[in-house]
Amino acid sequence: MKTSVIGYPRVGSLRELKFASEKYFRGEISAADLQETAKSLRAAHIAAQRKNGVDFIPCNDFSFYDTVLDAAVLLGAVPVRYKALGLSPLDTYFAMARGYQGKNGDVKALAMKKWFNTNYHYMVPELDDDTAIALHAEKPLAELAEAKAAGVQTKPVVCGAFTFLKLARCTGEKTAADFARQTAAAYGELLGKLAAAGAEWVQFDEPALVRDLTAEDKKLFTSLYEEILAQKGSAKVLVQTYFGDVRDCYKELCALPLDGIGLDFLEGRESFALVEKYGFPADKVLFAGLVNGKNIWKNNYATTVAAVQKLQKTGAEVVLSTSCSLLHVPYTLRNETKLSAEYTERFAFAEEKLGELCELKEILAAAAPEKCAAYQKNAALFARERGGKNAAVQAKVAAIKESDYTRLPAFEVREAIQKERFALPLLPTTTIGSFPQTADVKANRAAFKKGEITKAEYDTFNRKKIAECVALQEKIGLDVLVHGEYERNDMVEYFGECLSGFLFTEKAWVQSYGTRCVKPPIVWGDVSREKPMTVEWSVYAQSLTEKPMKGMLTGPVTILNWSFPREDITLRECALQIALAIREEVLDLEANGLKIIQIDEAALREKLPLRKSDWESDYLSWAIPAFRLVHSGVKAETQIHTHMCYSEFTDIIPAIDSMDADVITFEASRSDLLILDALKANNFRTEVGPGVYDIHSPRVPSVEEIKGALRKMLEKIPAKKLWVNPDCGLKTRGVEETIPSLEHLVEAAKQLRNENL
Ligand code: GLN
Ligand code: ZN
């Protein structure tokens, strides 16, 4: 049994690449220094895999920023505006990734998007009518040679032609299909060059194959690969898929003259059925993704061994593989010094997953796998009762009734009651929650974390900030106020730390984009709320003003989506547990006088399944009820707000409306407001606050500009349903731009009210 790794994390176990890159950006180290760091990281990654006997070790999975961006450079798809800067190849690359502002010019970065259903982001390649695809194979060739020089045979990994064209944005008249010929030629040429340089296998990553494919997509895919493979030299070609199954193109994949097909048997729900139903071609190797590249739990060897045996029964030649790149999990448990063995014995980060591949390889080679010591040790672990269970929480979830998901009275009745209660002006103004996290706020938190100040001192400072924030909002003239969120560094971590059932790591970083990494909490056990989490802050803030203060919470779906979830219970169950905990907080806020409560679901859309046919059954059917459960217990006069960080929800508008919030705010200023047509067409009943200015930029919008945005909104949304607010929270902004921006926002609303009334 051979083993394969699809890709390895690259930022370094202590984020060495991040720090070196940022130093390079600041001009503190040279390009050669940065290359040196990169080289030593690659060597360490290859060494770790070699030590664990991985047979198919990837190369070219390294990237200074993102591998889709690398593919754009590989194919010569560098837009003219970046070439025109006249920078070095490395700096041109970084200009595409991060934008450039300096003596050579001023250009924005390429667009960035989420990589399928992960929290990793890729740079969107741009193809214009003049783009001439041509191969620039220096990077994969160099990385192949570098490993070879160290005595290691590696498998170059490249973003596949189909996925590349599906993700690219065509900015002119031409469509992706118009670039197919040139693209296939470049990939064919690449195969020749890699073979000549000694590559035995080449891996093309094609995750785009696990989405719903149209007839046109299938045609594009087969025609690309027929042409690429026609130029195939001596190197063997593996088409690697992940994040789902390839039900729409399994037969086409099998019919191509490929040497290997990589399938995901964890997220790919139908992968087994496909192999069993249609068989697996005898002339190909099946790379079976069975070691989870996305989650941090140990592999269950009994399950994996049974799966491999089942696949082998079909006659397929099987290579044991990770389910996707290990990029999505942290590096190593060795960096975690504070978590006890009770927890860590259940975890496997990237390095530990290599160990699992190694053990499984041995186990699978044995005549009687279940007799192997490693197998038995693993079986004993899974047989052992695991901590973190809370019978009371489980009983509460079991006791949820259908009626608990429904808030009464109906929306329209509540809307009338609330209009009367709050008596807000037309076009009420508000913000999304956080105010600038200035240096003093961060310093206060850091001092408290280091034990330099007491909890009382920490709290006193935050109360002072709240008081200033409330005074500022009153002065500016906002209608519905917020406390500013000074007590949180992060909208998920804060609640994770307050709730029981979550674990936190010290160094378990995962790359989110470029040099940015996140440290997701781990849902370890049943989730419950031991004590109020935000009540004190919100009550204090409300005590300072006559205006309504919004209680501010993060919703269950977002908390779950930004954590590593459990695998021993369903996502639905876990979401309901978190929902019950947040529900208690909502009821506490209400009981303590908060009349408006905002429950953020910033990440609700993020985990929407890749296939439309799974949206309802796999996700919305529990995500929306989980949200409804959070607020269904409040009185009619309590107003529930929610917030989302994107406007691309045209396709799930009915689902969003059925969250049954009273008001929803969302990001809109950077999109073309197309969402408004969709809201109108769907008779959206929830009151809406599409963001009137972009908070990702320090620009101050003028009154006229905001009025312009609002006028457009008023064409589609009845005035009595429209709120006025920025795009998102203000925590990353400076005070300098925040004050005038909000003043302009309030002024714009006032002027329009006079026009409209
Ligand atoms: N209430 C949060 C804030 O204002 C929302 C953040 C978000 O949507 N990402 O920061
Ligand atoms: Zn947001």
Helix 180-196, helix 138-149: angle, nearest 10: 20
Question: How far does residue 644's CA lie from ligand 2's centre (Å)?
Answer: 5
Return d(Cα 222, Cα 555) in angstroms, integer.
Answer: 43
- Give pLDDT, residue 672: 67
Q: What percent of the chain clears pLDDT 90, i.e. is strictly above it?
A: 94
Write down the mean pLDDT value for the chain.
Answer: 96
Q: Judge whether 344 and 311 are in contact, CB under 8 Å.
A: no
What is the arithmetic mean of pLDDT over 683-708? Answer: 93
SS3 513: strand
464: Cβ contacts below 8 Å, ≥ 6 apart = none
> What is the pTM for the complete model shown?
0.93
Of the candidates 121, 643, 696, 744, the residue annotated as catalytic is: 696
- Give pLDDT, residue 55: 98
Question: How far does residue 552's CA lie from ligand 1's centre (Å)?
Answer: 9
Over 673-710, what HEC string results?
Answer: CHHHHHHHHCCCCCEEEECCCCCCCCCCCCHHHHHHHH
- Give pLDDT, residue 573: 98
Q: Is the CB of 645 within 6 Å of ligand 1?
A: yes
477: Cβ contacts below 8 Å, ≥ 6 apart = 429, 746, 750
pLDDT digits (tens, 9 = 90+) for 422-463: 999 999 999 999 999 999 999 999 999 999 999 999 999 999
Which fold, 56-240?
A: TIM Barrel (3.20.20)
- Give pLDDT, residue 613: 92
pLDDT at 649 over 90: no
pLDDT band at 632 (very low <50, low <70, confident <90, very high): very high
Pocket test for ligand 1, best of 119, 430, 431, 434 (most atoms within 8 A of CB): 434
334: Cβ contacts below 8 Å, ≥ 6 apart = 13, 351
**Which architecture characterizes domain 1-54+280-384 according to CATH?**
Alpha-Beta Barrel (3.20)
Q: Give the ligand whose atoms come closest to the C-alpha of residue 667.
A: 2
Q: What percent of the chain clears pLDDT 70, i.e. is strictly above it?
A: 99
pLDDT at 220 over 60: yes
Q: Is the CB of 604 within 6 Å of ligand 1?
A: no
Residue 476's Cβ-count burial label (10 Å; 0-12, 13-18, 19+) is: buried
What is the arithmetic mean of pLDDT over 574-603? Answer: 98
Query: Which residue's entry shows tokens 């073979």?
Result: 195
pLDDT at 757 over 60: no
- Give pLDDT, residue 85: 97
What stretch(es) of the chain map to CATH 3.20.20.210?
1-54+280-384, 56-240, 409-753
pLDDT digits (tens, 9 = 90+) for 17-66: 999 999 999 999 999 999 999 999 999 999 999 999 999 999 999 999 99
Nearest CA to ligand 1 atom 10: 729
Q: What phi and psi, each to the nearest 5 degrees, are found at residue 338?
A: -100, -20
pLDDT at 756 over 70: no
Nearest CA to ligand 1 atom 7: 602
Nearest CA to ligand 1 atom 8: 602
Residue 350 CB coordination number (10 Å) = 27
Pocket test for ligand 1, best of 431, 485, 537, 664 (most atoms within 8 A of CB): 485
- The helix or strand, by DSSP H or E, that contains position 290, with its residue range, turns out to be strand 285-291
- Give pLDDT, residue 697: 81
Q: Tell which residue, 523, 511, 519, has the closest CA to residue 115.
A: 511
- Give pLDDT, residue 233: 87
Question: How far does residue 642's CA lie from ligand 1's centre (Å)?
Answer: 10
Return d(Cα 623, Cα 579) in angstroms, integer.
Answer: 10
What is the arithmetic mean of pLDDT over 492-515? Answer: 95
pLDDT band at 200 (very low <50, low <70, confident <90, very high): very high
- Give pLDDT, residue 415: 98
445: Cβ contacts below 8 Å, ≥ 6 apart = 458, 489
Task: Specify whether the backbone of 598 is left (phi greater than 0), alpha (psi in -120 to 50) or beta.
Answer: beta
pLDDT digits (tens, 9 = 90+) for 306-354: 999 999 999 999 999 999 999 999 999 999 999 999 999 999 999 999 9
DSSP-H helix ranges across 486-642: 493-498, 535-543, 556-561, 571-591, 621-631
Q: What is the DSSP secondary-structure string of 140-180? A: HHHHHHHHHHTT---EEEEE-HHHHHHHSEE-SS--GGGGH
Question: How far does residue 718's CA lie from ligand 1's centre (Å)?
Answer: 26
Q: Judge whether 331 and 13 are in contact, CB under 8 Å.
A: yes
Active site residue 631: no
More confident residue, 579 or 757: 579
What is the length of the chain?
757
What is the arithmetic mean of pLDDT over 200-222? Answer: 98
- Give pLDDT, residue 668: 83
Cα pseudo-dihedral 484, 490, 495, 501, rounded to 10: -170
Q: Give the ligand whose atoms come closest to the C-alpha of residue 432.
A: 1
Rg of the chain (C-alpha set): 27
**Which architecture characterizes domain 409-753 according to CATH?**
Alpha-Beta Barrel (3.20)
Q: Judge whether 205 and 159 are in contact, CB under 8 Å.
A: yes
pLDDT digits (tens, 9 = 90+) for 328-341: 999 999 999 999 99
Q: Give the ligand whose atoms come closest to the C-alpha of residue 728.
A: 2
- Give pLDDT, residue 489: 85
Return d(Cα 375, Cα 301) in angstroms, integer.
Answer: 6
Q: Tell which residue, 224, 291, 288, has the closest CA to residue 256.
A: 224
Q: Is the CB of 188 within 6 Å of ligand 1?
A: no
- Give pLDDT, residue 151: 97
What is the arithmetic mean of pLDDT over 475-502? Answer: 95
Pocket test for ligand 1, best of 600, 601, 606, 732 (most atoms within 8 A of CB): 600
